[in-house]
Amino acid sequence: MKEMAYVLGIDLGTSAVKVTAVNRAGQIVAQSSQEYAISNPQAGYSEQNPEDWVQKTTLAIQNLAAVEHLDLSKVEGISYSGQMHGLVLMDKNYRVLRPAILWNDTRTTAQCEEITGKLRGDFLKITRNRPLEGFTLPKILWVKENEPEIFAQTEVFLLPKDYVRFRMTGKIGMEYSDAAGTVWLDEIHKTWSKEIADKLALPLEICPPLLESTAVVGNITVAYSAISGLPAETKVIAGAADNAAGAIGAGIISEDKILSSIGTSGVVLAYEKDRKTDYAGRLHFFNHAIPDSYYSMGVTLAAGYSLSWFKQTFAGQQKFTDLVEDAKKSPIGAKGLLFTPYIVGERTPYADAQIRGSFIGMDSRQQLHDFTRAVIEGITFSFRDLLSIYRSEGKHFVTAVATGGGAKSALWMQIQADVFNMNVVSLENEQGPGLGAAMLAAVGVGWFKDLAECSETFVKYGKVYRPKANNVAKYDRIYRIYQQAYSATRPMTGDLLKLDN
């Protein structure tokens, strides 16, 4: 019976939901995913129908049984990873009042300025973050100011995964790692901030009860059991924000490791135990899914996107894997070619929507593979920018755990090791936030005493790439030149952008 028990990790992403079934040995036994639509009613707007999340999650669970032949009666617990910052407003009968406003919606610039003007430095002290368009609090302000009739009906707000959990259990709540991303949470005291509510004239009563990520919220309702096929006694564990869950799934649960994740954007993320750590807003700082812990992260806006843009524009007929493999033909430094990955602006360390990318040092010797290598190296240098913030604060990491596109190429793994001057390791079975959600469920149902013990079974590392001294020295010299590129090109790219507009 023990060998046949499963937990489900539900990863509610921006464009799709993936449900992963994992056994006690940490083995993935079944997976199912379903896509859903994003609505863009105006430029800069990004919305979804929360009902789509529920229906598609339910269909994915049903398909675990119907298509993957998983015995749902053996599922002991479920937990969640969710896209962060999305705003779901509900009335007194817990009906959704309007489409959810997503993390990538940029309509709230005026509200961010309003928050800064009214709270000034106090906002950073309370939330440990700066107000940005993607966060939830500016969205709440926008609805209050632009849709007052809807705001007047609001009983409570939730985030995407918390809404799905509510529909499965009938229980309202929000766990700390996602609550931190609203930037309404007093992160250190783990309470909703009355000072923020008062300064912005927002009712504190619309904030939901707060939960630990590993807390058992309750069980599947009888009604949802009948629809989904899950047993009504299935335990439901609160879950985590996608970045927190992804960190757990990569084993970032101690201060000696750092996550290097290359997706469309790029993230460097570290576990933080000391609540007094203060990056003065240079890095995001959020409550972790691990109780009484935190994580910090810096973001490169166009990491993998820089390489996919380059391929589509200049090597459309070539396979992606072949393009990256051919970069081996180019030496370190790509024959004097440098790339800055600012093609959609930048987040960290330069919060600058106007900067644009550059190829610097082009000459007639260079070929396609040199340009490809320059793009890969430029992305990796941008990650070193993020690492430099940590190192300036006295942080020391032994290992970087690479995930996403940068973990799929031996060349890129070695470049990361050499540029970071650090051991870099990939995951044998990379599942990202979905595995982290399954780990939260495994701890919640009592398979393990905590996430550290669970990680020993569920997280499996692959080959270690070690820095090579000669390569490290060469990259150090190139990186010093890369560091000059932002200030040297900012005036020019800013003027070009104005002309283009």
- Using CA of residue 139, residue 140, residue 141, residue 143, what is the dihedral sign? positive
CA–CA distance, 406 with 472 (Å, rounded to integer): 18
Q: Are 38 and 47 in contact (CB under 8 A)?
A: yes
Cα separation values, 145 from 104, 150, 200, 209, Å: 20, 10, 11, 25
Q: Residue 242 catalytic?
A: yes
Q: Are 167 and 90 in contact (CB under 8 A)?
A: no
3-state class of 124 per DSSP? helix
CA–CA distance, 116 with 126 (Å, rounded to integer): 13
The three state secondary structure string of 420-439 is: HCCEEEEECCCCCHHHHHHH
CA–CA distance, 60 with 120 (Å, rounded to integer): 45
**Amino acid type, 191:** T
CA–CA distance, 265 with 301 (Å, rounded to integer): 5
User: Does 99 sit behind a cis peptide bond, omega within 30 degrees of 0 on the bond before it?
Assistant: no
Has 84 been labeled as part of a binding site? yes
> Phi/psi at 433 (nearest 5 deg)?
-60, -30
The residue whose two tokens read 């599942």 is 431
- Local structure of residue 15 (DSSP, 8 states): S
CA–CA distance, 71 with 60 (Å, rounded to integer): 14
Has 288 been labeled as part of a binding site? no
**Amino acid type, 391:** R
Instruction: Please name which of 418, 424, 423 lies closest in space to residue 475, comparing C-alpha atoms.
Output: 418
Instruction: Point out the catalytic residue in the list 11, 242, 385, 418.
Output: 242
**Amino acid type, 212:** E
CA–CA distance, 384 with 291 (Å, rounded to integer): 29
- DSSP assignment of 382-429, as one string? HHHHHHHHHHHTT---SEEEEEEGGGS-HHHHHHHHHHHTSEEEEETT
DSSP H or E segment with residue 48: strand 47-48
Q: Write out the binding residues for substrate.
A: 84-85
Give the active site residues: 242
